[in-house]
Amino acid sequence: MDEIGVLLMRPLSNYIQQELAKRFTLFKYWEIPSESLKLHSDIIRAVVGNGVQGANSALIDSLPRLEIVSSHSSGLDKIDLVKCKERGIRVTSTPNGPTDDVADMAILLAIATLRRICVADRFVRNGIWQEKDFNLTAKFSGKSVGIVGLGRIGSAIAKRAEAFGCPISYHSRTQKPESTYTYYSHVIDLASNCQILVVACALTDETHHIINREVIDALGPNGIVINIARGSHIDEPELVSALAEGRLGGAGLDGLEHEPEVPTQLASLDNVVLSPHTAAGTVETRREMADLVIANLEAYFSNKPLLTPVL
C-alpha cells in the first residue's frame, strides 16, 4: 500500500505518524506548502483528520482522487459530509475509544469546579494557607445532573454520576425508551431541574449555542455547566457575563468556542476550571484511536468492510 498517499492534517502522536508511514506514502499537511500539495494531489487518496481539522469543502475539491476520510475523532463537525456523500468518499470515525476518558473528564471537571480545586491549589502554592483557612466549597455527591445528549458518552457520564448518588435527567432529540432517567424535551426545562448541566451532544446546526442566555439563567446562580463536547455548543460571551455577574455558579470547560484563544475575562475567573480540549487525551486512548484509524484505512484499501463507517 506504500503507493497510496495519505494526508495527515494535524501533528497527532508520533505513533500514528510512524504507523501510517510504514504502510502508506505519508504527507503532513502542516509541513506542505499549498503549491506542493497540488503536485501530490494525484496520489493522495486518503485524509486523516481529527476534531480540530478534518476535511472541508475546499480541501476535498483540491484532492481529485480522494476516496476516504478516516477521522481520529468521534466528532464529525470538521468534515464536509455533504461534499463527501456527493463525491462518494467514505468516512470513518473513532466513536468508542474516547468514551471512558471523556466521561471521566466530565466528572473530574464537575468535582474540580464545585470544590474549587484549582483555586485551592494556588491557595497552597502561594502560601496563603499559612495566613487563613480556605473557604468552604460545594459537594458533588447527591446533586442533580442534567445531561444534554444521552449517547455513548452521555450514558457513561450518567453511570458515573449515579455512583455518587446523583439523580439523572437528560435532553436529546428523542426520548430513549430503554432509559429510566427523567426526560425533558426542552433544554431550558432540563436546566431548570438540575444543579449540574453537562453538555455531551454532537455539534450540529441545531446544537450550536444550545447553551444560551435563557438556559444559563434557568440553571441559575447555584448551578454549574460542564462542557466536554465542542466549545460552540455554548454562547461564550453569554457564559462569561453570567459567570462574572454571578448569574451562574461555575463552569468546567474542556473546549472553547474559538480555541485555542481564551477570553481574558474567562481566564481571570475563579469559578471556572479550564482544560485544553484534552478529555480524550490519554496515551492509552490515543493509541486505540490511532489503531482504529489505520485499521479502517487498511480495510478500505484491501476491499474489506470498514470497521466504523459513517458514510
Please tell me which residue in 45, 116, 233, 277 is annotated as part of the active site: 277
Candidates 111, 95, 107; CA nearest to 158 is 107
Is residue 230 annotated as part of the catalytic site, yes or no?
A: yes
Is residue 245 annotated as part of the catalytic site, yes or no?
A: no
Sequence-separated (6 or more) residues with CB below 8 Å from residue 201: 148, 149, 151, 154, 172, 207, 210, 229, 233
Please tell me which residue in 116, 230, 233, 286 is annotated as part of the active site: 230
| 199, β-bridge pairs | 148, 227
Alpha-carbon span 216 to 219, nearest angstrom: 5
Please tell me which residue in 10, 23, 40, 259 is annotated as part of the active site: 259
- Grid coordinates standing for 71? 477521522
Candidates 284, 120, 147, 310; CA nearest to 227 is 147
- Grid coordinates standing for 124? 497552597
Under 8 Å between Cβ of 4 and 298: no
- Grid coordinates standing for 6? 495519505
Residues carrying an active site annotation = 230, 259, 277
